[in-house]
Structure formats: structure tokens, C-alpha cells
């Protein structure tokens, strides 16, 4: 195994770091795409006689439209004939207002391949999927981690989703002219009403917001909600993101 491990080490040293070229304009951070990883590792792998072949072991779908896959990657060292294998999991979602599309498995494969290459060569990118505070928007208010309590976010008015839905004007304008960001509570709504409720809340909040900072904070502290919405209706989730982006630009002009 010495030859193949030495080749992998050499390839990893040759790449060193994968530059982030993807861009999230609304939240203002860069991220690594699969094409970035492939483009920046392919030459190093081939230069060191390494060929990696994937094989999908299993595919399953859940009620939210997620496609989950398990892939075995076989790393071949052509110079020595040695090989080794490892497994990587991946997930992708292609659900929209019309149902579940046929691209879930391709999205899952894209993500799986990206992380397989990064982990096999132990490459640094700086974007940790568990750390969603990476590269915050300049001048945007800092938000607390997922597990943080209300005391760590004193500037955020934790208004229950149900209360906002019943009295939107009072909830966001009773004590201030500026809309106060609040935490949406998905668990209070059944699945059949969740998408429509979130859409109504977002549209209402965007209309009464008077600053881009308020919009960004609201978007930031509800990341889990957008993820859930994306798994249920990717088309609506994309529309909401665009609404935030466009309104923030208008407010900054």
C-alpha cells in the first residue's frame, strides 16, 4: 500500500488548498463548488497516477423529496496496480411545487463527489458545513449559533410564528418603526400548511422592513427554516431568497 499512499500524499501536497469560487450574494460569502474541486484536483491526481472510480451502492428517497445515496469510491494507482476503497454518503433534493423532479440523484452525486475528493486528499477550503457563520456580510449584525438562547441574542425579538401570523402589524411595528427579526418556529405547523405560512410571513416581513441589515439578520437567524422549506418546495425557497436579495439591494440604494 505504500505506493498508493505516497501518491495520494503527493497529490494532496500539490493541490494544498481548494479556492472558493462559488458565491452567495445575499449572505455575502464564497463557497466551494464541485466543479471547483474537480478542476483543482484533477491534474494533481493524474500527475501522480491516480484514478478514482465511483460506484453507487444504494439510493433511497424520503417524504421530503430528498434523495440519499451511498457511494463506494475506488482509488487506483496505475503505476503500482494498487487500489483502496472508501464509502461516502450524499443527499440531494429536487422537490418543487409540482412534485418531486428527476434530478435528486444527480444533485446527491455532485455533493458526494465534492466531499469524497476533499476528504480523500484532506484538502482545506475554509467552509465548514457545520459552521454557518462563515464569512458574514460586511456590517451585518452578528448572529448566535443554532443552540444559542435568547440571552445571547438580545437584539432579536423572539416572536412566535403563530403570534406574527395573527397580528403581523403589531408584531413588527408596535414599538418601533423598524421590523424586528424573529425566529420562525416550524414545529408549530403541520407539513401541509408550513410552506404557505412561511411564504406569508416572509412577504409580510419584507414589506415592513426598512433596512437591509434587518433583512439579513432575519434571513440569518432562520437558516434552518429555509433548509426545511427548500426540502419541501425548492422552487418557493429559491423565490424567497431572490425576494430577500432584491429587497436588500433596493434598501441599500
Q: What are the DSSP calls for 193-229, one per residue?
A: HHHHHHHHHHHHHHHH---HHHHHHHHHHTHHHHHHH
What single string gives the DSSP state of each residue in 24-35?
ETTTTEEE--HH
Final residue before a domain boundary, out of 121, 142, 169? 121
> What domain count does the chain have?
2
CATH number (domain holding residue 88): 3.30.160
Domain contains 126? no
pLDDT for res 9:
93
Final residue before a domain boundary, out of 83, 100, 121? 121
Q: Are residues 88 and 171 in the same domain?
A: no
DSSP designation for 90: E
pLDDT for res 86:
96
Q: Are residues 219 and 182 in the same domain?
A: yes
pLDDT for res 226:
84
CA 69 – CA 226 distance, rounded (Å): 23
CA 70 – CA 187 distance, rounded (Å): 29
Domain contains 116? yes
Q: Are residues 108 and 159 in the same domain?
A: no
Cβ count within 10 A of residue 101: 15
What stretches in the chain show pLDDT beneath 70? 23-29, 96-99, 126-179
Q: How far is CA 195 from CA 64, 103, 190, 191, 198, in A?
A: 12, 21, 10, 8, 5
Contacts of range 87-94, beta carbons closer than 8 Å, 24 or more positions apart:
87/57, 88/112, 88/115, 88/116, 88/119, 90/115, 91/66, 91/67, 92/66, 92/67, 93/64, 93/65, 93/66, 93/67, 93/230, 93/231, 93/234, 94/65, 94/67, 94/234
pLDDT for res 132:
44
Q: Are residues 154 and 112 in the same domain?
A: no
Cβ count within 10 A of residue 159: 19
pLDDT for res 97:
66
Which residue range is the domain that position 205 belongs to? 150-252
Pairing between β-strand 99-100 and β-strand 95-96 as defined by DSSP bridges: antiparallel
Residue 87: helix, strand or coil by DSSP? strand
pLDDT for res 23:
65
Condensed to tens digits (0 to 9), the pLDDT of residues 124-179 reads 875 544 444 444 434 433 433 343 333 333 333 333 434 433 433 334 444 445 66
Domain contains 181? yes
Q: Are residues 76 and 182 in the same domain?
A: no
Check if the beta carbon of residue 25 is closer than 8 Å to that of residue 192. Answer: no
Residue 114: helix, strand or coil by DSSP? helix
Q: Are residues 114 and 171 in the same domain?
A: no
Final residue before a domain boundary, out of 104, 121, 138? 121
pLDDT for res 58:
95
Cβ count within 10 A of residue 95: 22
Question: Per the structure block, which three cell numbers stand in for 148?
Answer: 444559542
pLDDT for res 84:
96
Q: Are residues 183 and 90 in the same domain?
A: no
Report, in this order, helix, strand and coil percent for the chain, each rounded to 5. 50, 20, 35
Q: Are residues 243 and 190 in the same domain?
A: yes
Q: Are residues 114 and 194 in the same domain?
A: no
Instruction: Please list the residues that pair with 93 across neighbouring strands.
Output: 66
Which residues have CB under 8 Å from 8's CB, separation 6+?
48, 50, 75, 120, 121
Amino acid at each position: 500500500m505504500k505506493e498508493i499512499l505516497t501518491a495520494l500524499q503527493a497529490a494532496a501536497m500539490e493541490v494544498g488548498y481548494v479556492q472558493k469560487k462559488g458565491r452567495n450574494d445575499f449572505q455575502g460569502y464564497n463557497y466551494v463548488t464541485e466543479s471547483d474541486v474537480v478542476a483543482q484536483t484533477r491534474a494533481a491526481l493524474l500527475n501522480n497516477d491516480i484514478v478514482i472510480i465511483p460506484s453507487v451502492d444504494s439510493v433511497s428517497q424520503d417524504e421530503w423529496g430528498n434523495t440519499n445515496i451511498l457511494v463506494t469510491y475506488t482509488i487506483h494507482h496505475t503505476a503500482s496496480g494498487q487500489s483502496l476503497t472508501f464509502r461516502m454518503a450524499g443527499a440531494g433534493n429536487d422537490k418543487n411545487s409540482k412534485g418531486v423532479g428527476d434530478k435528486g440523484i444527480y444533485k446527491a452525486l455532485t455533493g458526494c463527489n465534492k466531499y469524497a475528493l476533499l476528504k480523500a486528499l484532506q484538502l482545506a477550503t475554509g467552509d465548514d458545513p457545520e459552521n454557518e457563520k462563515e464569512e458574514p456580510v460586511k456590517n451585518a449584525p452578528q448572529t448566535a449559533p443554532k443552540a444559542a438562547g435568547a440571552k445571547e441574542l438580545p437584539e432579536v425579538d423572539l416572536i412566535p410564528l403563530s403570534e406574527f401570523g395573527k397580528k403581523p402589524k403589531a408584531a413588527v411595528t408596535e414599538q418601533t418603526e423598524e421590523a424586528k427579526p424573529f425566529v420562525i418556529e416550524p414545529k408549530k405547523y403541520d407539513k401541509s400548511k408550513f410552506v404557505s405560512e412561511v411564504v406569508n410571513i416572509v412577504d409580510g416581513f419584507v414589506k415592513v422592513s426598512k433596512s437591509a441589515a434587518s433583512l439579513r439578520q432575519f434571513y440569518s437567524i432562520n437558516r434552518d427554516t429555509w433548509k426545511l422549506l427548500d426540502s419541501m418546495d425548492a422552487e418557493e425557497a429559491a423565490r424567497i431568497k431572490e425576494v430577500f436579495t432584491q429587497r436588500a439591494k433596493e434598501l441599500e440604494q
